[in-house]
Structure 1
């Protein structure tokens, strides 16, 4: 009989295998990275473009193009595009990030030949009509007005702007920025960014030579979009400690966001800092959760993270607490960081974090698409798969004394930017 009073034996994850892509090139020079894996006749093709020509006076230019790119071409209306994609059971998704914009297509292999021409039309002939721009502007302004009433949104917005200023990483968007958008601005950016020289394709799923031939036949031809473009590049100074209060006298809760510019994935300390962050606030059993939520009862949730972007990285922690305990919560947060700087992490706690992080990594590799996402993380950071080897080895072997040193190096609360939206 199984003794259910005894927990099952746990073992550290021993080995994690990554599916590495095979590189090909279309006739017009577009690199294509293919992860051919999985049993289902399903593929995901992602067209990724570097963000270019950053202009602080036009902070919404790239984002608006990304969101409107599938809302009509010279030949097809937004409805016709949607109907065509739906007819073949496909799914089309656009994404905008601070460094890249992308168009993703999910489709059955047998319908690839029928769906890809619509994607080619989108990436070559989108016309950003005044009608679609007007609808987009109205909807986005309404959404922004709603968000501006939320303390967590205000804190997140102010925090990014304090760290990164009027760059793609931190531009403070206001309603009037939408009013300044014009169709000519969108076309200008579209012609500059959505070009073969600026495109990388990552395909995953049951993607064989026949699928590559279809892709090359449609996308390997010259594109008409050509415009002057410079890939975005930003530099930042380390901020000196500053506290920002967005006073909301009627608030019942205050949103807290604290952190600083840190290292990104390219730095050798990044894996170790990830382990340290996990101990502090990176999972449900973290020290911040144990103290601020479970012991003090100040919040329903609190967490921290280390984010990596192309030109910067940053550490942050975020929570919402009752206004009457805002100062106390911030004191407790700083106390937990101070403990990490002074004391070594107990072996049992560190082993739990090791197992959690390795299990999370293994669990995140459930299919070909997630393997493609892991490749994307390192490719655009200029790294190889040895990064993941170092990352996994660091999780397994890093010592508590090393983590204490990292806490002293990267978690100096005197240099933190601290944003409170609500009352303190």
Structure 2
């Protein structure tokens, strides 16, 4: 190499005869077989235990259906999630933290309109202690007054900030536009509702909703799956109820329609959020739809990114992806843009949706997204934590290790014609609706000129 000579990426990528040919993609390795046990305990809890012994640790994921019709349910559920592991009849917060630290463990919680989730990990030889702590939390959480008050105050502060964030505002607007007052839309509780939550209300919610029947526990790590299932049955033997955990009511199917402009006075950026009905992962056409989505906007080399980010510079980030709920799924398209290019970005997004069906991906395009899809799946399941998270997402909709192991072959079998048909059937612009959140004084004239956009009326 000559000293002081600099060659740009464009120069490196070209030869005297034209663009340098890319090397062919290597052969994709099949996913390895996973030793596992998958069963339902006597208390109604489904347990999926998987051996992955690459490191001497264990990952645990628990998902409890946690829906509620009461508009204030989200607030109480948020407080419960933050305080369920702050003390029990046998252990206070310090004792829980100390026992987990001694086994190299941790435990975290979260809640959304569908599930109360508990994630935990530890050294493999510390699993008995981890299960004992988990059982204690599930059956004996105390929700003492000072812990509830302290965590409620923190949640109120966090929500006050979150509700000013453009992404949160856009998400709530999209949810209302898609599903009205369905409980699924209550993802971020009102701060005033959280401030009004009492310890008694949290204890009552725990008693009626933290239930094993219908819940799923995934354990992945350096374990004997069959033995661990037995250990879990003993450890959680006291977690009992004849009632089933409450699942979210079925969501209505989406239909295309006008995009709603949601005014946000003074905003210098706009949020574009589009959505359409898709296919569940059990549908035979899902692998083809998955590849069509990747080609459209599901990874960095997609058409949408190339158009409105790389070519025109309308946005720093554009993306499309799936959202799975129970037996249904939707596809979302997202982009944040400056006000002056919002209308143009929406126009180009609609254009790319239509072009995907009318000028479908080529064989080379499909092969690229196929390799990306399979590689991403295998990379995501290569670690214990990644595999555990993947499996709990599948288990809550009734799937398991077999689906995960077989999916690379399903993706490998998809033809270019099948991807083209999925693109035409599911990415037609007429199937999409959604919202644009931004300054209506600036955006309304331009978006109205595009057509298919209505302006949200102020609340009376």
TM-score of the pair, normalised by structure 1? 0.88
Name which of 111, 131, 139 aligns with 1:124: 139
Q: What corresponds to 1:37 in structure 2?
A: 52
Aligned partners of 1:7, 1:368: CA distance in 2, in Å?
34
Name which of 415, 418, 432 aligns with 1:416: 432
Q: Secondary structure, in 3 states, of the residue corresponding to 1:34? A: strand
1:256-335 to 2 correspondences below 5 Å: 256-335=272-351
- Tell me how large the CA RMSD over aligned residues is: 2.9
Of stretches 403-412 and 250-259 in structure 1, the one that deviates more from structure 2 is 403-412
Q: What corresponds to 1:370 in structure 2?
A: 386
Q: Which runs of 5+ in 1 are unaligned?
A: none
Aligned partners of 1:147, 1:350: CA distance in 2, in Å?
39
State whether structure 2 residue 240 is matched by structure 1 residue 218: no
- Residue 64 to residue 311, structure 1, CA distance change in 2 (3 Å): farther
- Residue 129 to residue 244, structure 1, CA distance change in 2 (3 Å): farther
Aligned partners of 2:242, 2:413: CA distance in 1, in Å?
50
Aligned partners of 1:371, 1:260: CA distance in 2, in Å?
28
Of stretches 328-337 and 129-138 in structure 1, the one that deviates more from structure 2 is 129-138
Aligned residues: 420
Alignment check: 8 A CA contact 1:276 1:403 kept: yes
- Residue 390 to residue 91, structure 1, CA distance change in 2 (3 Å): closer
- C-alpha displacement at 1:53, in angstroms? 4.4
Deviations 1:219-260 (A, max 9, x none): 23x336776754333231424413222323322211111112
Name which of 172, 179, 186 aligns with 2:195: 179
Of stretches 131-140 and 370-379 in structure 1, the one that deviates more from structure 2 is 370-379
Aligned partners of 1:390, 1:44: CA distance in 2, in Å?
23
- Residue 51 to residue 311, structure 1, CA distance change in 2 (3 Å): farther
Alignment check: 8 A CA contact 2:49 2:228 kept: no
Aligned partners of 1:21, 1:282: CA distance in 2, in Å?
31
Of stretches 48-57 and 187-196 in structure 1, the one that deviates more from structure 2 is 48-57
Of stretches 324-333 and 374-383 in structure 1, the one that deviates more from structure 2 is 374-383
Q: What corresponds to 2:216 in structure 1?
A: 200
State whether structure 2 residue 379 is matched by structure 1 residue 357: no
- Residue 234 to residue 181, structure 1, CA distance change in 2 (3 Å): farther
1:16-31 to 2 correspondences below 5 Å: 16-19=31-34, 21-23=36-38, 30-31=45-46
Deviations 1:176-225 (A, max 9, x none): 332343333322221123234344332211122665554444323x3367
Deviations 1:82-123 (A, max 9, x none): 233223321112232443323232111333334432222111
1:91-102 to 2 correspondences below 5 Å: 91-102=106-117
Q: Which runs of 5+ in 2 are unaligned?
A: 1-12, 14-19, 444-460
Name which of 70, 85, 91 aligns with 2:85: 70
Aligned partners of 1:210, 1:344: CA distance in 2, in Å?
50
Deviations 1:302-359 (A, max 9, x none): 1110121214311111111111000000000011111112112122222211111121
- Residue 79 to residue 226, structure 1, CA distance change in 2 (3 Å): farther
TM-score of the pair, normalised by structure 2? 0.82
Of stretches 7-16 and 265-274 in structure 1, the one that deviates more from structure 2 is 7-16
1:129-148 to 2 correspondences below 5 Å: 129-148=144-163
- C-alpha displacement at 1:30, in angstroms? 4.0
Aligned partners of 1:192, 1:334: CA distance in 2, in Å?
46
Of stretches 269-278 and 10-19 in structure 1, the one that deviates more from structure 2 is 10-19
Q: Secondary structure, in 3 states, of the residue corresponding to 1:40? A: coil
- Residue 418 to residue 112, structure 1, CA distance change in 2 (3 Å): closer
Q: What corresponds to 1:159 in structure 2?
A: 174
Aligned partners of 2:164, 2:86: CA distance in 1, in Å?
29
